[in-house]
Amino acid sequence: MKIYVDGTLYAKEDAKVSVFDHGFLYGDGVFEGIRAYDGTVFRLREHIDRLYQSAKTIALEIPFTREEMTQAVLDTVAANEKRDAYIRLVVSRGPGDLGIDPANCSRPTVVIICAEIKLYPKALYDSGAPIVTSSVRRIPIQCLDPRIKSLNYLNNIMAKIDARRAGALEAVMLNHQGRVAECTADNLFFIAGGVLKTPDLMNGALPGITRATVLELGREFPMGTEEGNYGLHDLYNADEVFLTGTGAEIMPVISVDGRQIGDGKPGALTKKLMEAFRHRRTRDGIAVPYAAGVAKA
């Protein structure tokens, strides 16, 4: 494995970041999780745009242009000779001192990791997954805007602990008003009366790249789409529920807090969206410039 650190590719055992890096000390930084499918990086421009938007909001100046960062991602995938991969792109505030002042950090740290993708168990895509509601509320947008994909994921991690202790795949996170926001690592959708619905971003959801793709697919089918304010009552009484994310792609949900969704099996429209997304994955990608001789999987 070759890992990109500040412009240089290192072997895994040689890739290092300072213990004084404020990403390590304080979670001060931003990141993206990106997928490569059959030699193309899915919606890379959208991921890069979101990275720079998150960085701007936290006043983090990324030391590369968007074009340079895009090329760095493609080059890292090519150097690892992977056609299917999970890519983690991290930009931290960089090394500083033991105080929190960002002004004491001389230069941001940029890390790109290209690794094997660890998916949810394949059987769950056929059978669907149960999820629960976490007791941990989403951080209010007045305190820290959840649209920032920052390195500080403790809010989500605490909710994930709830899910694991309940024996569930994922946990629904509500905002301080009791409205559905998202799950710990995935966006949340449901279908009611033939309409595709997902929480409005202002309720505490990350603007997921897969989320945006699914909304596009819903409009192309066509079927009604809606971003709004929803409570658990809406999820419990939905015809279909599913999760979306870079790692999850589209994961059917068969129960929420023990309430069966539909007939307890992945819904017909969810399956239709899953199939459409599979066809979209390489169409909306940027080709990786592999060296000659890299075999097609």
- Label residue 233 exposed, middle or buried (CB < 10 Å: 0-12, 13-18, 19+): exposed
Annotated catalytic residue within 149, 265, 272, 296: 149
Q: Residue 128: CA atoms inside 13 Å, Cβ hemisphere, count? A: 21
Is-cis flag, bond preceding 102, omega within 30? no
Helix (H, G, I), strand (E, B) or coil at 1: coil
Q: Does the N-terminal peptide bond of residue 140 adopt cis geometry, omega within 30 degrees of 0?
A: no
- C-alpha span between 222 and 183 (Å, rounded): 26
Three-state DSSP state, 5: strand
φ and ψ at residue 87, rounded to 5 degrees: -115, 125
Neighbours of 161 (CB within 10 A): 14
Q: Is 149 a residue of the active site?
A: yes
Contact in structure between 117 and 35 (CB atoms under 8 Å): yes
Q: Which amino acid does the sequence have at 245?
A: G
Q: What are the beta bridge partners of residue 30? A: 91, 150
- Cβ atoms < 10 Å from Cβ of 281: 17
Parallel, antiparallel, or unpaired: how do β-strands 2-5 and 109-115 relate?
A: antiparallel
State the residue for tokens 């959801």.
205
Residue 164 φ then ψ, to 5°:
-65, -40
The H-or-E segment that residue 181 falls in is strand 180-183
Q: Any idea which residues carry the catalytic annotation?
A: 149
